[in-house]
Amino acid sequence: MAPVSELVRVVHIGEGSLDVGVGLKGRGAWLCCDAPGCVELADRRGAFSRALRRPISPGAVDALRDELRAGSATRPEVPEPPPGGTLE
């Protein structure tokens, strides 16, 4: 599995639409955003509908794909460990 810093959280926001954001309420699914085929693979496998337990419109997946390509999706803030230490 990819580190959290390489993932975005996708949430169903109503009427088959998707939004990206860590702080959004509701059932979400984590998706890799740097791999070019990640959205396509998830779409082909029906992973969005299955993970979010709701029907997702094809237009919503296209909009998500465009948002990730544009780089406007927000990634979670992952703190860096201190030099020579670990996060607790």
Phi, psi torsion values for 66, nearest 5 degrees? -65, -40
Residue with the bigger pLDDT between 87 and 26: it is: 26
Span 26-42, pLDDT tens digits: 889 999 877 778 899 99
Domains present along the chain, CATH in parentheses: 4-70 (3.30.1230.10)
Model pLDDT, residue 37:
86
pTM over 0.75: no
CA 5 to chain centroid: 11
Decide: 69 and 61 in contact? Cβ < 8 Å: no
